[in-house]
Structure 1
Amino acid sequence: MTLPGTLRIAYKLLTNDRGKFSALLVGITFAVFLMVQMTSIFAGILGRSSATVTNIGASVWIMDPAVNTVANTIPLPDYLLDGVRSIPGVRYAVPLYSGGALVKLRSGAYQAVSVIGLDDATLFGRPLLEQGNIQDIYAENGFIVVHDAEFRKLGSPGIGTEFELNDHRGHIVGIAKVSSGGLFGVPTLYTTRSRAIQYIPSTRYTTSYILVEPKNEAAIAAVKREVARLGYLALTREEFIRKISDFYKYQTGIGTNILLMTVISFIVGLSISGQTFYTFILENLEKFGALKAIGAKGSELVSMILFQAVFTALTGYGIGVGLCTALIFVAKMRLPDYASLITFGNLGLALGMVIRIAGISSYIGIRKVLRIEPFDIFRG
């Protein structure tokens, strides 16, 4: 028998019993759906946890070594900024303020916000504006609001909207857009660093981070060494994002919970598909025996079972990914702050799990088929 012929027979045997075939697809689809959904939520959380780092866009961040996340700021002494600026290889270095505050809206409601204070001289890290002029941030009480999923929590303000922050009057002079929304469900305001320090109570030191632009990539290693000699930590943008991700993966319950759900999804898919596929093999044992009696080799029977398992697994994988994508699309339309992101890593992990499910299921069937003897089939 030729290989295309055996595969055609395998396909007909697989799809002939629509009930069993549907059960196989449902088991794998459900497992893939859960795995992609859980890992996508985790990827979305990790992406939003480092939103400030992504939006500011500085090449190198200098911070206290105890900092774990961008929201967990530890003020830096004022002399450190001068020390960093004197390091060879530093093109320029600017301070950044990052903190939280409570604003009172014109409706009388209170809303927690995240306030980013940009360097007064350079406004380094400023966002792109949808409305307004960036120079208006220097106006009296000027703030820029980010137009993201949390924008409506401030009453969807427009240019000129006023609010109170610690008994100080503030007004919106611009509406900005950023590449990534925040994780903690609070709106974001940008202003100058001097105004942020004036409006928000702070400790003796007021610099949350020092943002550095090196002269070239080769200078980054030297900058890190000099900053370490001063007792502080310098990280590139990618390293800081990785540090934040590692914190949420290994030092919070988020990573453990997502891992458990992914493993449970794999076990559910394996149990359903493995049991159903084994039942399918038992019900078609006579047909495999007949094929063996008319000259089908063991390798051809193995290729038939592998084809059936892989075809079912990949079909279920495609349906599961499609359902998960559709659900995330609908959820983001209804819930703008829904944190979920499908990445190539999510898809690769789910594909690897599905291949393992197909491999274990086909191994169970192959052992059973290779043991049959045509004599036993015809004798029965």
Structure 2
Amino acid sequence: MKGLFKIAFKLLVNDKGKFAALLIGITFAVFLMVQMTSIFSGVLQSASSVVINIGAKIWIMDPAVNTVANSIPMPDYVQDAVRSIAGVKYAVPLYSGGATLKLRSGSFQSVTVLGLDDTSLLGRPELLEGNIEDIFAENGFLVVKDAEIEKLQNPHIGTEFELNDNRGVIVGIAKVAANGLFGIPSLYTTYNRAIQYIPSSRFTTSYILVEPKDDSSIEFIKQEVAKLGYLAVTNTEFRDKISTYYKYKTGLGTNILLMTIISFVVGLSISGQTFYTFILENLDKFGALKAIGAKSHELMLMIVFQAGFTALTGYGLGVGLCTLMIYLAKMRLPNYASAITYTNLGLAFLMVLIIAIFSSYIGVRKVLKIEPFDVFRG
């Protein structure tokens, strides 16, 4: 068999034009599939950035909430009721809302303001500059240093701005694990300052962040919160809820799915047609092998080897090209939302296997029908 595989490899690479066409077709298909699904993964991660950065174990919210950006304020009694539930170690409020800053240059810029619990500062970001205690100082805000900070004219500690006719001062520069989706800078301050500076409705608690005493208490907490008419979800469940919303309730998921299917069809058609042409041009060689004693299953293995080798090589080239493109894009566009995950790679690999099976099937059908007599007669 080793000798037959060697012959199969030489037959495959001997026709450099056909081999290159096969590789280009599969590489291009894999590149598009991984690129599209990676963009989708990056968008979903950015959409859940607040959940990732805050890191609370349990989030309590109105059942109608679909994404973290569209919070529905809850009455203050909900927090008191949650704190009284057995199994709750502590529960604190979180304010999440939008505001418009007037910068020192006189221009205006929209921002997302997160108000942390005044006592615990649960969910506070890691500081690059400044002291976290300065957030309690008069008018103190933390600014997140990410791709959007330039929109605030690159503030530093001591930079002043206006928020709803209130003076604000940057007292710290922070970093977070995930950047936001919509290109809006983020500021952190205390909960009471946020609701004081930003006009809001009668209720001001966007979310209640809960730390359970142990993991076994989570289900009981969910049930008790449901009795209050609200929803309690874990960090992972909230991220899944946001992902589900963008997948099925917006056009984003459908568009990405269509592009992925188109990429798969392109790769399938190009590789199938090119491989079929390759088999036709080498039919006499397969017939000669059959005439000198090669069995049908051995010829089948040769064709499967050729298709599999081409598909896996194209898969590696496609993933490598996509990784390079994402790396270069992020160097020039720091807010570029794209992330290659094991799920993306696995999906692309599965589709490449389907392409290889399809190509093998086309080749095997043709080779098994050949008779040595017809080859030598020709």
Q: Same fold (TM over 0.5)?
A: yes
Taking the TM superposition and a 5 Å limit, the aligned residue runs for 1:42-61 are 42-61=40-59
Q: Which residue does the alignment assign to 2:77? A: 79
Q: Which amino acid aligns with 2:239?
A: I
Q: Which moved more, 1:279-288 or 1:161-170?
A: 161-170
CA offset digits 1:14-48 (Å, max 9, x no partner): 00000000000000000000000000000000001
Amino acid at match of 1:146: V
User: Partner of 1:249 in structure 2?
Assistant: 247
Q: Which residue of 2 aligns with 1:30?
A: 28
**Corresponding position of 1:174:** 172
1:261 aligns with 2:274: no
Q: Measure how far apart 1:300 and its partner are.
A: 0.6
In structure 2, which of residues 95, 98, 101 is the aligned counterpart of residue 97 of structure 1?
A: 95
1:126 corresponds to: 124
1:279 alignment partner in structure 2: 277
Could you list the per-position Cα deviations for residues 97-128 of structure 1 after superposition, in whole angstroms to 9, with x for gaps in the alignment?
00000001111111110000001111111111
Residue 94 of structure 1: SS of its match in structure 2? Answer: strand
Q: Does 1:372 align with 2:364?
A: no
Q: Work out the CA distance in 1 between the residues paired with 2:103 and 2:306.
A: 62
Match of 1:230 in 2: 228
* Other-structure match for 1:141: 139
Deviations 1:291-335 (A, max 9, x none): 000000001100000000000000000000000000000000000
Task: Give the match's secondary structure for 2:113.
Answer: strand
Taking the aligned partners of 1:96 and 1:291, their CA distance within structure 2 comes to 74
Q: CA deviation at 1:149?
A: 1.1
Query: What CA distance in whole angstroms lies between the structure 2 residues aligned with 1:271 and 1:225?
Result: 52
Give the match for residue 354 of structure 2. Answer: 356
- Inter-partner Cα distance in structure 2 for 1:165 and 1:287: 79
Residues of 2 paired with 1:125 and 1:291: CA distance? 69
Residue 304 of structure 1 aligns with which residue? 302
Q: 1:230 Cα shift?
A: 0.4
SS at match of 1:347: helix
CA distance in 2, matches of 1:121, 1:360: 62
Equivalent-residue separation in structure 1 for 2:149 and 2:289 (angstroms): 67
Corresponding residue for residue 152 of structure 2: 154
Alpha-carbon distance in structure 2 between the residues aligned to 1:300 and 1:346: 34
Amino acid at match of 1:165: L
Q: Shift in Å at residue 136 of structure 1?
A: 0.3
- C-alpha distance in 1 between matches for 2:64 and 2:112: 21
TM (norm. structure 1) is: 0.99
Q: Secondary structure at the match of 1:93?
A: strand
Aligned residue number for residue 335 of structure 1: 333
TM-score, with length taken from structure 2: 1.00
Query: Is 2:2 the partner of 1:4?
Result: yes
Q: Which stretches of structure 1, 4 residues or more, deviate above 2 A after TM superposition?
A: none
Identity %: 72
SS in 1 for 2:303: helix
Displacement of 1:156 in angstroms is 1.0
Q: What is the CA–CA distance in structure 2 between the aligned matches of 1:353 and 1:155, rounded to whole Å? A: 46
Cα displacement (A) at 1:213 = 0.2
Alignment of 1:153-232 (within 5 A): 153-232=151-230
Q: Secondary structure at the match of 2:215?
A: coil
Report the Cα distance in structure 2 between the residues aligned to 1:156 and 1:290, rounded to whole angstroms.
Answer: 73
Equivalent residue letter for 2:334: P
The residue type paired with residue 164 of structure 2 is N
Q: Which runs of 5+ in 1 are unaligned?
A: none
Amino acid in the other structure paired with 1:374: P
Q: Secondary structure at the match of 1:91?
A: strand
- How much is the aligned-residue C-alpha RMSD, in angstroms? 0.4
Q: State how far apart, in whole Å, the 1-side matches of 2:107 and 2:302 are.
A: 67
The secondary structure found in structure 2 opposite 1:98 is: strand
